[in-house]
């Protein structure tokens, strides 16, 4: 007779504790990051998961950006990501930590997910419309690259709907 496997983060029959599931929430400090973190917070609170906030540091070619300006940019982005994560996750008492990885975003998100044995990756979508779709087809968005190359589940969070000004009249 087989016994059901315990969910991660719960006790097994012999009293051992399994590790809680991990949700990787990939954010860059932009407005969609708030929606990604809100989604991660709600899911983590329901599933008793922990959240790894994945922030990919932009890489630049040598000489393309002043060194001091780059340090300031990275520090400002990290502060913004930390603030967004704290606002979304702390009120629900979701355990979380920040994981920073330099490099190409899709590859770095994959590395963070692998390191943490993530059960789910949450990324944001840059929107809809003809021009956004064309850019995705030509350059492939981060969310598209993550979906195409990842073996684990990926949740793509759309941007907030803009209020239609025609409805107000």
Share of the chain above pLDDT 70, in %: 70
pLDDT in tens, 124-169: 987 555 555 555 555 668 888 898 888 999 999 988 876 544 444 4
**For residues 105 and 138, is the Cβ–Cβ distance under 8 A?**
no
**For residues 153 and 121, is the Cβ–Cβ distance under 8 A?**
yes
Question: How far is the C-alpha of 143 from the C-alpha of 25, rounded, in Å?
Answer: 12
The residue count of the chain comes to 169
Architecture of domain 22-158: 3-Layer(aba) Sandwich (3.40)
If one counts every other C-beta atom within 10 angstroms of the C-beta of residue 17, the result is 11
Rounded to 5 degrees, what angle do the CA atoms 128, 123, 41 make?
120
Query: b/e string for 80-96 if b means 16 or more Cβ within 10 A?
Result: bbeebbeebbeeeebeb
Question: How far is the C-alpha of 39 from the C-alpha of 65, rounded, in Å?
Answer: 34
DSSP 118: -
Least confident of 36-40, 53-57, 141-145, 146-150: 141-145
Using 50, 70 and 90 to split pLDDT, how confident is the model at 17? Answer: low
Using 50, 70 and 90 to split pLDDT, how confident is the model at 14? Answer: low
| pTM attached to this predicted model | 0.78
Question: How far is the C-alpha of 42 from the C-alpha of 92, rounded, in Å?
Answer: 8
Q: What three-state secondary structure class fits 43?
A: helix
Using 50, 70 and 90 to split pLDDT, how confident is the model at 27? Answer: very high
Q: Is 132 exposed, middle or buried (0-12, 13-18, 19+ CB in 10 A)?
A: middle
């Amino acid at each position: 007779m087989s016994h059901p496997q315990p969910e991660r983060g719960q006790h097994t029959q012999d009293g051992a504790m399994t590790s809680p599931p991990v949700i990787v929430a990939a954010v860059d400090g932009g407005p969609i990051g708030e929606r990604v973190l809100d989604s991660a917070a709600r899911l983590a609170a329901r599933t008793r998961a922990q959240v790894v906030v994945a922030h990919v540091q932009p890489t630049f070619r040598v000489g393309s950006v002043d060194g001091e300006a780059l340090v300031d940019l990275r520090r400002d982005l990290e502060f913004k990501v930390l603030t967004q994560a704290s606002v979304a996750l702390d009120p629900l008492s979701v355990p979380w930590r920040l994981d920073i990885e330099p490099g190409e975003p899709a590859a770095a998100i994959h590395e963070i997910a692998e390191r943490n044995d993530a059960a789910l990756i949450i990324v944001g979508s840059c929107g809809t419309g003809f021009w956004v779709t064309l850019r995705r087809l030509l350059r492939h968005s981060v969310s598209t690259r993550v979906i195409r190359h990842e073996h684990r589940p990926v949740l793509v969070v759309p941007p907030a709907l803009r209020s239609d000004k025609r409805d107000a009249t």
